[in-house]
């Protein structure tokens, strides 16, 4: 049910165990798909999972979005079964949330725990490496693709796919969930770390194709176009998308296709996140 997060954890958990970690600390929204899947992976390997969460973290420059957003239920219920230690904080800027996570990590270290820090969404060079491998896996299947369209947020999914497919002439279009044009700089930084792991030349910001026109009201808040895309995919294919990421991404794909702006064949990369369909909304 978590889609793209499972691939990242194959590398991140291995690194945490290699470092002798006793607890993993991360952060995200209350309905974070990554936090929930991280909790499952930690439970499987005997690690504590601690997460700083907010109902709706946001970028201060863009302002806090208004509208219905997933609150209780969904991933929060699954976190309960997995034993994830959630620490709830009032909604604020993402940077504030990152600091809360660091405070939790420091407190655990002061008690003798060996802490492994994982950034939001697992978006690190190792997380990107997992999607570099995913892109190469796609190529190995021999399917001819001109464009990959996927949801894009913290960056490692799109960064990894871009590094894997750029040399093959395959475009990777990220339909962005965050109203932050400057995130391309985060992608470049993650890519620099990935390039070091791969021993290749790093890609510049122009390598990352970003579409911000499906963000809607803002991060974590559903959009009418996204909800219509969810309904269309469900009724045509019996496949469900989620309101935060993949629903908006498929809405973006439809918009670009109708305008003749996608070179085909097109692959839609489903990033999971179905538990938020069962979350109650404010």
Instruction: Specify the DSSP element, H or E, that contains 51.
Output: strand 48-54
Check residue 213 and report its DSSP letter.
T
Cis check for the bond before 265: say yes or no (omega within 30 of 0).
Answer: yes
The catalytic position among 32, 123, 156, 177 is 32
Please give the Cα distance from 62 to 76 (Å, whole number).
26
Please say if 32 is a catalytic residue.
yes
Residue 63, judged by CB atoms within 10 A of its CB (0-12, 13-18, 19+), counts as exposed
Compute the CA torsion angle 66, 68, 73, 74 (nearest 10 deg). -100
Tell me the C-alpha to C-alpha distance, in Å, between residue 84 and each of 41, 103, 167.
11, 17, 40
Q: In whole angstroms, give the CA distance from residue 96 to residue 50.
A: 17
Helices then strands, counting H and E runs in the chain, come out as 9, 10
Asked if residues 43 and 85 have their Cβ atoms less than 8 Å apart, the reply is no
Cα 93 to chain centroid, rounded: 18
Q: Active-site positions?
A: 32
């Amino acid at each position: 049910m978590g889609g793209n997060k499972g691939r990242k954890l194959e590398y991140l958990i291995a690194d945490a165990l290699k470092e002798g970690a006793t607890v993993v600390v991360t952060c995200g929204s209350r309905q974070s798909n990554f936090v929930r899947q991280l909790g499952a992976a930690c439970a499987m390997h005997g690690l504590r999972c601690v997460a700083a969460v907010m109902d709706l973290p946001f970028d201060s420059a863009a302002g806090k979005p208004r509208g219905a957003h997933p609150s209780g239920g969904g991933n929060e219920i699954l976190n309960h079964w997995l034993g994830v230690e959630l620490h709830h904080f009032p909604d604020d800027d993402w940077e504030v949330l990152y600091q809360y996570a660091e405070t939790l990590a420091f407190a655990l270290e002061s008690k003798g725990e060996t802490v492994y820090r994982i950034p939001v969404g697992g978006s690190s060079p190792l997380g990107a490496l997992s999607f570099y491998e995913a892109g190469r896996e796609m190529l190995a299947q021999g399917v001819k693709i001109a464009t990959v369209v996927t949801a894009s947020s913290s960056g490692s999914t799109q960064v990894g796919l871009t590094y894997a497919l750029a040399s093959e002439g395959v475009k990777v279009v990220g339909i962005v969930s965050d109203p932050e044009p400057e995130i391309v700089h985060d992608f470049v930084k993650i890519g620099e770390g990935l390039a070091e792991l791969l021993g290749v030349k790093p890609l510049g910001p122009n390598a990352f194709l970003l579409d911000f026109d499906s963000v809607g009201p803002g991060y974590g808040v559903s959009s009418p176009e996204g909800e219509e895309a969810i309904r269309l995919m469900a009724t045509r294919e019996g496949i469900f998308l989620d309101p935060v990421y993949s629903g908006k991404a498929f809405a973006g794909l439809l918009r670009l296709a109708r305008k003749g702006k996608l070179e085909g064949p097109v692959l839609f990369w489903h990033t999971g996140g179905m538990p938020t369909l069962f979350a109650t909304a404010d």
